[in-house]
Structure 1
Amino acid sequence: MNENLLFAAITALVCLPLSLALAAAGLPLASASMLLNPPKRVKVFRDKYGQQTATFCLLAGIIATACLGAAAGFLPMVFPAAASFWLGWPLPLAPLAALLVLCAVLAVAYRATWQILKENRPAHAAMGMAATVCGWGLGYLFLSFFRHFAVSSADPAADPTLFLPPLDSASWLLLPSVLALTLAMAGASAPLYLIYRREKDDFGRDYYNYALKMAGKWALGGSAGALASQGALFALLWPVVRDMPIRASFFWGEAVALTAFVMAGLLWSMVLKNQNPLRLKLHCVTGYALAVAGLSGMAVAVSRFFFG
């Protein structure tokens, strides 16, 4: 198999659990924001949507952690240099693990106190938002460590300031893209769980029509933010990349990302405009698949740039 195709296939495989990890980071914010001053006519719908997505957040986080953790277990056999870096102690493993545990604790507490804090919505919403902020912090740490791994051979424990990218680093354009992707994946993946649980929960057609549209709004908004950041990143890096051997992988990775997210956006827009979104279940499933494809394209382009 062609080296580029093999690299793209492996990247896409990793992006499946990565998409769930991103969704798990964004879902608490997506549900917590709905607890604040909900209109009376949709208050019940928002509560149900928030509770379901909070549960899905835990499931997505468990699956993503298990899959990515298993992949990390193969690092010493496949990529010894990567294993010695990413599994190094105390850097970078300790802060990554600590923040991951904090994210998990906040997410579990947010879901577990749904009934207890029912009358104290601001406190409950703050807990959910804090879970997402910790998830975003985890994204920042990963990006800064990834940059250090790619550009420097120095021992990470020797100079921790190497994990602070300079102001002109592409990492500062990647960061908002990652943050936006947490919301995009939260909106793209939530309908899959809602559809799966419909027969068991049976909250009524009106609720599911509302919930699918709400998820579509998050997916569209997050995708727009991610594409804007990627566009700025492409404009910054293309003058350098176009004269390098990686230009094809970088260009086509970004092209796949743009095409996939635009196509997914069209499907989500159709869900938003339809009076009965439950009839468009296939649109929701396809939208998520396209979002994962777009994430894979971004990952291929960025990885090729950093690793050459």
Structure 2
Amino acid sequence: MNTLMEPLRLTSQLLPKALGDFIALSAIGAPILAVILEITAKARNKIFYDKLAKQIASMSLIMYVLFLGCAAGAATYFTRQFDWLTDWFINPSSPFIMVYITVGFTLAMLLPYTLLWKSMKKNKPAHILLGTCAALGGISTVHVVTMTMKVFFMQQAAAPVPTVPTLPFINHFLVLPGLAGLYLAGLYLIMSLSFAATIGGLYLVLRRNKDDFGRDYYKFSLPVISKWALIPTLAQLAAVTFIIIYLCGPTKELLLANNTTAICFGLSAVLTLLCCAIWIVTWKSATPMRHKIGLTLAPFFTIIAHATVMAGAMNLYLTM
């Protein structure tokens, strides 16, 4: 029993961060997914792709509102705990200014892309351009957040109370990150597509009565969204496994001997593979709406899996 308590304790502590990551990355990935589906609809001349793209775009706006709410709440909480953080959020030289710019740009493109879907129906190239700009804004946000984290943690390592660098904030983003930064940004991008499609499955299930496009539409759309959840998730699983093996290096026996870390990683893998099984069954099913319970549970399993893998990584780092 004691062996299980420590993984549960660490996972429960990291659940709020896992939920925040899920919301933020879903918000970033949803416009990318929406514009890919819209381009596919035009290329293949299939109206169902366009309807699905519209639903995912509408969902992305909801996710961005949730993301902004969570970010504002987290900023308020942490600035009350650490007064010096306030300067990082408001200082004109802070790299966080670039985060505000990319998020603001993404929202500025996403709002007309979502709200003018019907009125721009006959001007698809311009509408797709709006969606592409929103998607690129999301991708830029991934890069900007990765670089901001790098700057923040470098300053934190240099002093107990990290100060905002005196350089203009734009200077931090004119150089490519190192290999580790690029790999992390790539992982975030994969996760954004995975999380967006995962919550997209739940969104379709919840909207099936409100957006009643008929049985044939859901027979088409649920397998498509399941496939988009499955493939990035498998890529994410492979990438995380590689990172763990790489970080352990010659001390792989430490991973095997650490029960807490092994349980956390094992539980995360089981939950992730369970989600993959749900998506495969839905993808191949002739009646995909029958698997609505699995699609409803998949986002919750994904959040818990994310929390457990972070718990395992944190415990491994502390014991190395």
Q: TM-score range by the shorter chain?
A: 0.7 to 0.9
Name the CA distance, whole Å, in 2 between partners of 1:95 and 1:226.
Answer: 27
Name the CA distance, whole Å, in 1 between partners of 2:251 and 2:111.
Answer: 43
Which of 86, 89, 92 is equivalent to 1:87? 89
- Structure 1: give runs of 5+ residues left out of the alignment: none
Q: Cα offset for 1:74?
A: 0.6
Matched with 1:202 is 212
Matched residue count: 306
Q: Which amino acid aligns with 2:11?
A: A
Contact residue 25 and residue 192 of structure 2 kept, 8 A:
yes
Q: Cα offset for 1:282?
A: 0.7
Name the CA distance, whole Å, in 2 between partners of 1:304 and 1:126.
Answer: 45
- 1:72 equivalent to 2:75? Answer yes
Q: Residues 168 and 135 from structure 1, CA distance in 2 versus in 1: closer, same or farther, beyond 3 angstroms?
A: closer
Which of 188, 191, 195 is equivalent to 1:185? 195
- 1:228 equivalent to 2:238? Answer yes
Name the CA distance, whole Å, in 1 between partners of 2:318 and 2:98.
Answer: 24
Name the CA distance, whole Å, in 2 between partners of 1:207 and 1:218.
Answer: 17
Taking every aligned residue pair, what percent have the same amino acid on both sides? Answer: 22
Name the CA distance, whole Å, in 1 between partners of 2:220 and 2:48.
Answer: 7
Matched with 1:27 is 30
Q: Cα offset for 1:206?
A: 1.0
Q: Cα offset for 1:93?
A: 2.3
Q: Which amino acid aligns with 1:22?
A: L
Question: Whose RCO is larger (CA < 8 A, sep 6+)?
Answer: 2
Name the SS for the 1:157 alignment partner.
Answer: coil
User: In terms of mean alpha carbon deviation, does 26-35 or 267-276 score higher?
Assistant: 26-35
- 1:285 equivalent to 2:288? Answer no
- 1:121 equivalent to 2:124? Answer yes
Contact residue 55 and residue 111 of structure 1 kept, 8 A:
yes
- 1:173 equivalent to 2:187? Answer no
Name the CA distance, whole Å, in 1 between partners of 2:43 and 2:177.
Answer: 48
User: In terms of mean alpha carbon deviation, does 4-13 or 104-113 score higher?
Assistant: 4-13
Name the CA distance, whole Å, in 1 between partners of 2:307 and 2:45.
Answer: 36
Deviations 1:4-57, CA, capped at 9 Å, x for gaps = 654432321232233122112111121211222537987221121111111111
Q: Which amino acid aligns with 1:281?
A: K
Q: Cα offset for 1:102?
A: 1.0
Q: Which amino acid aligns with 1:117?
A: M
- Structure 2: give runs of 5+ residues left out of the alignment: none
Name the CA distance, whole Å, in 1 between partners of 2:146 and 2:251.
Answer: 20
Contact residue 7 and residue 264 of structure 2 kept, 8 A:
no
- 1:36 equivalent to 2:39? Answer yes
Contact residue 35 and residue 122 of structure 1 kept, 8 A:
no
Matched with 2:58 is 55
RMSD after superposition:
3.1
Q: Residues 96 and 7 from structure 1, CA distance in 2 versus in 1: closer, same or farther, beyond 3 angstroms?
A: farther
Q: Residues 5 and 102 from structure 1, CA distance in 2 versus in 1: closer, same or farther, beyond 3 angstroms?
A: same
Deviations 1:73-132, CA, capped at 9 Å, x for gaps = 110233456x35752523132111111111111111211221232223233223213212
Q: Residues 284 and 172 from structure 1, CA distance in 2 versus in 1: closer, same or farther, beyond 3 angstroms?
A: same
TM-score by length of 1: 0.86
Contact residue 91 and residue 164 of structure 2 kept, 8 A:
no
Name the CA distance, whole Å, in 2 between partners of 1:307 and 1:79.
Answer: 23
Q: Cα offset for 1:258?
A: 2.7
Name the SS for the 1:11 alignment partner.
Answer: helix
- 1:148 equivalent to 2:159? Answer no
Q: Cα offset for 1:253?
A: 4.5
Name the SS for the 2:210 alignment partner.
Answer: helix
